[in-house]
Amino acid sequence: MSQLNPVHAGLIEPIDGSAMLADAQSWSAVNTGSANLPGLARQAALLCDAMAALPGDIALVDPAPVTAMGADGQIFEKQHGQHLTVSVRPDAERRLLFTGHMDTVFPADHTFQDQTWLDEDRLNGPGLADMKGGIAVFLHALRAFERSGVADKIGYDILINSDEETGSLASAPLIEAMARGKFAALTYEPSALPDGTLAHARGGSGNYSLTITGKSAHAGRNPQDGRNAIVAAAALVLGLKQLQTDQCPINPAKIEGGAANNVVPDHAVLRFNIRPKSPAAAADFESALAALIGDIQQAQEVSIHLHGGISRPPKPVDRKAQALFDLVRDCGASLGQDIRWQSTGGVCDGNNIASCGVPVVDTMGVRGGSIHSPDEFMIVSSLPERAALSALVIHRLASGESL
């Protein structure tokens, strides 16, 4: 703290770790699995109350329509919760974007619902690290910033979506609209490592489903008249693995379908994920996939329908994004925090924001670990620590810091 000037010391002084913990715990107590619409609605109401502490307009926004493919190959509309937005000083010349998500990976019937203290500084609980603790971080950082003498120099938008854990398909248009024209963005996923390391460049992600329609026949009397959808699906799996490169890992994940042992199966659904490391790798895969589908359709005499695509574009780090990382590092040094970063194969809303040309650091949330498991934990002392880091970054951006 000795490196802080009096202005910055006064900025972070009001940050109350106990109040932050109370917020995170109350939000973690609400189950917000991505498909738990009543739980998400309850959480949204609590967040609206909390965000009222900021001088902005709060709104709940309906999700964009999203379709999914069932095991029968039929397309259906997938339901999502509303997203929460806050707009503060929308006419300001320099505007920032802060994003988080209220959903978790734990459905309403999951056994992991309660909180347990592991020791005096680690609290185990659903969504505490990913990322209800992160929401507390930016809320309290912004509350502290609003008391500063430069608060009127910038405006900002907040987006807390309800579907990040399932790919943000129902919020992607909203993310794009809110990112447009922003000077910079901060996203509050938990740090990449428990020591506070940030995620740097990220690969992308795409989820696909292929419906294969063949022709049924008796497996003993006239198998030659059938067209086996399972065999075609298997050929697609082998073909996909041949398309894999270092720049685009491919994971065939599931084959659904089939029939009785004495029937040539006429239906199958193949689901797979790709992780392109660059936009060029993503484009190359798309063209190669189209060619593979054409080849299998001809060779196996089946029809194949494609659903899905790239949902998270790759996130390279350009000059402006690196300047934002450097600013976060410098602010951390002023607070006695050693901020480092590393590239990762994981994806988040930071991918979507970066694809809009906006510099973003997307792991500004709490320190913790074991996310997406019942062992998830938050390091409680990181709540005020990371809030102070954010408040200082925001203050410097409001004070005219260039990127």
Express each pLDDT in 166-208 by its tens digit: 999 999 999 999 999 999 999 999 999 999 999 999 999 999 9
Contact between 88 and 154 (Cβ < 8 Å): no
Structure tokens at 40: 């998400």
How many whole angstroms separate alpha carbon 254 and alpha carbon 256?
6
104 DSSP 8-state letter: B
In order of 232, 250, 300, the CA distances from 238 in angstroms are 10, 11, 14
How many whole angstroms separate alpha carbon 230 and alpha carbon 238?
12
Instruction: Assign 3-state DSSP to the chain and report helix, strand, coil percentages, each to 5.
Output: 35, 25, 40
Average pLDDT over residues 285-310: 98
Average pLDDT over residues 58-75: 96
Query: Which pLDDT belongs to residue 77?
Result: 97
Give the DSSP letter string of 227-294: B-HHHHHHHHHHHHHHH-BTTB-EEEEEEEE---TTB---EEEEEEEE--SSHHHHHHHHHHHHHHHH
How many whole angstroms separate alpha carbon 178 and alpha carbon 175?
5
Full-model pTM: 0.95
pLDDT at 2 over 90: no
Average pLDDT over residues 86-107: 98
Q: Which residue has the higher pLDDT, 7 or 2?
A: 7
| Cross-sheet strand order for the sheet of 116-117 | 116-117, 122-124, 377-379, 368-369
Structure tokens at 234: 């298997």
Residue-range domains of the chain with CATH:
6-69+79-203+315-398 (3.40.630.10), 205-312 (3.30.70.360)
Amino acid at 394: I
Residue 344 region by backbone torsions, left for phi larger than 0, else alpha for psi between -120 and 50, else beta? beta
How many whole angstroms separate alpha carbon 186 and alpha carbon 288?
35
pLDDT at 345 over 70: yes
Query: Which pLDDT belongs to residue 213?
Result: 98
Confidence of residue 3 (pLDDT cuts 50, 70, 90): confident
Residues of the chain above pLDDT 90, percent: 99
Question: What is the average pLDDT score of the chain?
Answer: 97
Query: Which pLDDT belongs to residue 106?
Result: 98
Query: Which pLDDT belongs to residue 206?
Result: 97
The number of C-alpha atoms within 13 Å of 301 and in the hemisphere containing its C-beta is 7
How many whole angstroms separate alpha carbon 323 and alpha carbon 237?
42
How many whole angstroms separate alpha carbon 328 and alpha carbon 330?
5
Residues of the chain above pLDDT 70, percent: 100
How many whole angstroms separate alpha carbon 45 and alpha carbon 146?
23
Average pLDDT over residues 200-223: 98
Contact between 190 and 134 (Cβ < 8 Å): yes
Dihedral of the CA atoms 177, 192, 311, 169 (nearest 10)? -60
Residue 194: CB atoms within 10 A of its CB come to 17
Confidence of residue 1 (pLDDT cuts 50, 70, 90): very low
Contact between 229 and 213 (Cβ < 8 Å): yes
- Give the distance, in angstroms, between the CA of residue 311 and the centroid of all CA atoms in the same chain: 10
Structure tokens at 50: 């909390």
Contact between 230 and 265 (Cβ < 8 Å): yes
Contact between 170 and 278 (Cβ < 8 Å): no
The per-residue pLDDT for range 115-173, each reduced to its tens digit, is 999 999 999 999 999 999 999 999 999 999 999 999 999 999 999 999 999 999 999 99
Which is nearest to 337 in space by CA: 377, 391, 382?
Answer: 382
